[in-house]
Homo-oligomer: A and B are copies of this chain.
Amino acid sequence: MNNFRYYNPTEVIFGKGTIARLSDLVPKKTKVMMLYGGGSIKTNGVYNQVMSALKKHDVIEFGGIEANPDYATLKKAIKVVKKEGVEFLLAVGGGSVIDGTKFVSLASKYKGDSPWDILTKGAASQITSAIPLGDVLTLPATGSEFNSNSVISRRAKRQKFSFASDLVFPKFSILDPETTYTLPVKQVRNGIVDAYMHVIEQYLTYPIGAIVQDRQAEALLLSLIEIAPTAMKTDPCDYTGRANFMWAASLALNSLIGRGVPQDWATHGVGHELTALYGLDHAETLAVILPWLLRHKIDQKREKLVQYGERVFGIKTGKVEDRAEKAIVATEEFFNSLGMPTTLTAHGVDPDEAAEEVKTRLNKIDFKRGEYKDVTGDAAFAILKMSR
């Protein structure tokens, strides 16, 4: 086990009816900005619940934060924050709204020329205060509600960067599973795969004697497999399924299981390119890459794959050499059981073309990911060629 630091001061308020708690969680006598996305919260009742809880607060609104929150949009928010003297930010939405709010929180206090420095020049480490933020989560997937990370896009330049800062941990996150009842089932499916992949990226590398972290990662994978069918139920939705889905997705990326262990994140890196090129949902890209990346790296990852197969899918028989492949097949079967394809061809994307395009793009940015930093553009080429 490597040395590590674990720190996560976010207060999680979890359960039915908890949005009402905003009335005491959001500081009184402060100027509050509520940030949200495309307006689905206005049709599903969440907006009304939030406003009802904040009826004694001084709230201004900033809507329109898009999926993959855009720098241009967030700059507008920062302008309003400064002009209106906003002192508390409340994100209401999914990971994109929360990520965007984190950026606004930090960038509003940045004294340099351009807040873009936070994303490209490591300026986050020079900033000593941020506007406090809290959130109401409505789409379990990214874990942003329970960590200090943020991913921001700049469409004008076709760029996507991330930052992390202790200053942007949400002060609180309200997780009411009932807010997910109006989600399209595809988003639930995506959220389950996204959460599953967050665990995989922190787990499926090589053994390092992190017995506790391994067991906890496996616990989340087992949970996601167990709850997926119930969580995907609609009409009526199942509270227990949604609650466990929401909590598992939060714990998948609250940084706990990744402490002291090697991490991969190559699937995410390659996946971003597929979203940019073909508009596949983030989770869809992960599912068409992972199985083939695992096959490409099967010798390096064999020991963990065998452990994963045994503990998560009960693969205990057969030759050890074969069990790694069996674990990959079981992963594909799990994704497919959710209606999630595991090949590019299933999405109508030509693997040969995608392999070429992605390789070119990744080589331009000198892409190097994976626990050995050896997933490069060329490796991505080989991986995507197989995804048929």
| Residues of A in contact with B (beta carbons under 8 Å apart) | 1-18, 209-213, 215-216, 218-220, 222-223, 226-227, 240, 243-244, 247-248, 251, 259-260
Contact = CB atoms under 8 A, between A and B. Distances in A.
Contacts of A259: 14
23 contacts: A3-B14, A3-B15, A3-B16, A3-B17, A3-B18, A4-B14, A5-B12, A5-B13, A5-B14, A7-B9, A9-B9, A14-B259, A15-B260, A209-B240, A211-B223, A211-B240, A215-B219, A215-B220, A215-B222, A215-B223, A218-B219, A219-B219, A247-B260
Contact of A212 (B1, B11, B15, B244): B244
A239 B3 CA distance: 12
B5 A243 contact: no
Contacts of A247: 1, 212-213, 260
Most buried by B among A6, A18, A213: A6
Given A1-B244, A219-B219, A226-B211, A7 B11 contact: yes
Contacts of A216: 216, 219-220, 251
A136 B296 CA distance: 44
A198 to B, nearest CB: 14
A11 to B, nearest CB: 4
Contact of A15 (B4, B14, B248): B4
A362 to B, nearest CB: 33
Contacts of A3: 14-18
A13 B240 CA distance: 35
A321 to B, nearest CB: 24
Nearest to A248: B212
Nearest to A172: B7
B209 A1 contact: no
Most buried by B among A7, A17, A247: A247
A251 B219 CA distance: 14
B222 A14 contact: no
B6 A12 contact: yes
A218 B218 CA distance: 10
Contacts of A9: 7-9
Nearest to A218: B219
A166 B220 CA distance: 28
A36 to B, nearest CB: 24
B15 A6 contact: no
A220 B247 CA distance: 18
A6 B10 CA distance: 8
Contacts of A2: 15
Contacts of A218: 219
Contacts of A8: 8-9
A6 B13 CA distance: 7
Nearest to A15: B3
A230 to B, nearest CB: 9
A322 B76 CA distance: 66
Nearest to A209: B240
A384 to B, nearest CB: 33
Nearest to A17: B3
Contacts of A13: 5
Contacts of A219: 212, 215-216, 218-219
Contacts of A16: 3
A213 B246 CA distance: 12
A147 to B, nearest CB: 14
Contacts of A5: 11-14
